[in-house]
Amino acid sequence: MERLQKVMAHAGVDSRRKCEQLILEGRVSVNGEVIRELGAKVSAKDRIEVDGVPIYKEEPRYILFYKPKQVISAVSDDKNRAVVLDYIEGITERIYPIGRLDYDTTGLLLLTNDGTFANYLMHPKHQIDKVYIAKVKGIPELKTLRRLERGVVIDGKKTSKARAKLISYNQDNETAIVELTIHEGWNHQVKKMFEAVGHPVMKLKRERYGFIDLGKLKAGEWRELTAFEVDKLTKMATSKK
């Protein structure tokens, strides 16, 4: 069950706020009954009409996208920069990113039009692991990696426990490749964590989301998640306490 205005917005009727206004004006009916309150919830079986015209309820879509650098994790941009939807062709549903990756960060990004699924994955209590590969300045010592794992304070809050692994390093250039696994999704979190321990990020890529990786996808390419993958991600999220 989802809120009526949310279903209407996903179906392309209008923005969520405009859909709420349509409901308040008495222009929306569910199974022949006019709805005037915003708390109403509907199921996939309900017949929804706006001004007597049935709405088309979208089929759920689940997309795995390899985000390139210098692409905005959004459906539009007021500065006319490239956005993730510029790369997704042939999808008529109103999909949107689940969370975001920074403008200069590459890697795995999920998109959907299923609000419930998106909320499951984004809520920190569900603790879906996200694996990042970072090229950082300097070569972190073991004690520095343990600091990252215990949690560091950024923006006045301490991050949850993580996993950190030194993949390789270049003694001449004084750089290193580090794998960091977190389950939160704070703004610029990975970059701020490395900054907090004295190793600024030079490049950043998200390699995995839960059990899903990029596979053979190249930057700018995408594929649909399988029903098995969607089901497993949902179960991973809802089984966490």
Any catalytic annotation for residue 102? Answer: yes
Residue whose structure tokens are 């972190």: 140
How far apart are the C-alpha atoms of 10 and 101, rounded to whole Å? 23
Between CA 234 and CA 123 the distance in angstroms is 12
How many other C-beta atoms are found inside a 10 Å radius of the C-beta of residue 78?
6
Q: Which residue has the tokens 């590969």?
A: 133
Q: Which of 102, 104, 172, 213 is catalytic?
A: 102
DSSP 186: -
User: Alpha-carbon distance 54 to 160, whole Å?
Assistant: 47
Tell me the two tokens of residue 1.
Answer: 């069950």
Amino acid occupying residue 14: D
Quick one: DSSP state of residue 126? G
Residues taking part in catalysis: 102
